[in-house]
A and B are shown apart, each in its own frame.
Chain A
Amino acid sequence: MATRDIHPKAPVDARIDSAAREGLTGTAPANLYGPALEREQITIAPDFRPPELQPAWRQDFPIDWPQDQYVERRDFVKFLVLTSFALTVGQFWIAGENWLRRRLGLAEARRIASLAALPVGGAVVFNYPGEHDPCVLVRVGERELVAYSQKCTHLSCAVIPRPAEGVLHCPCHEGLFDLRSGRPIAGPPPRPLPRIQLDVRGGDVFATGVELRTV
Chain B
Amino acid sequence: MALRRPFTREQQTTVVFGMLAFVVILVVLQLWLLTATMNAYLGGDDGVVWPAAIASLVCLLLNLGLLRYLGRVTRRG
Q: Are B23 and A84 in contact (CB under 8 A)?
A: yes
- Secondary structure type dominating chain B contacts: helix
Q: How far is the CB of B54 from chain A (nearest CB, A)?
A: 9
Contact partners of B16 in chain A: CB under 8 A: 70, 73-74, 77
For this complex, into which size category does the number of interface residues on chain A fall? 35 or more
Cα A66 to Cα B60 in complex, Å, equals 29
Scan residues 61-118 of chain A and give those whose CB is less than 8 A from a CB of chain B. Answer: 66-67, 69-70, 73-74, 76-78, 80-81, 83-85, 87-88, 90-92, 94-95, 97-98, 101-102
Partner of A88 from B13, B39, B56, B66 at Cβ < 8 Å: B56
Q: Are B67 and A81 in contact (CB under 8 A)?
A: yes
- Secondary structure type dominating chain A contacts: helix
Cα A190 to Cα B39 in complex, Å, equals 8
- Number of CB contacts from chain A to chain B under 8 A: 108
Contact partners of A76 in chain B: CB under 8 A: 20
Cα A87 to Cα B27 in complex, Å, equals 8
A-B contact pairs, 12 of them (CB 8 A): A66-B10, A73-B13, A73-B16, A85-B60, A87-B30, A87-B31, A91-B33, A97-B41, A153-B42, A212-B43, A213-B43, A214-B44
Q: Chain B interface (Cβ within 8 Å of chain A)?
A: 8-10, 12-13, 16-17, 19-20, 23-24, 26-27, 30-31, 33-34, 37-46, 49-50, 52-53, 56-57, 59-60, 63-64, 66-67, 70, 74
Q: Chain A interface (Cβ within 8 Å of chain B)?
A: 39-40, 66-67, 69-70, 73-74, 76-78, 80-81, 83-85, 87-88, 90-92, 94-95, 97-98, 101-102, 153, 190-191, 194, 211-215
A67-B9, A214-B40 given; 15 more Cβ-contact pairs under 8 Å: A74-B16, A77-B16, A80-B20, A80-B23, A81-B63, A81-B67, A88-B57, A88-B59, A94-B37, A98-B41, A98-B49, A191-B43, A213-B44, A214-B39, A215-B43
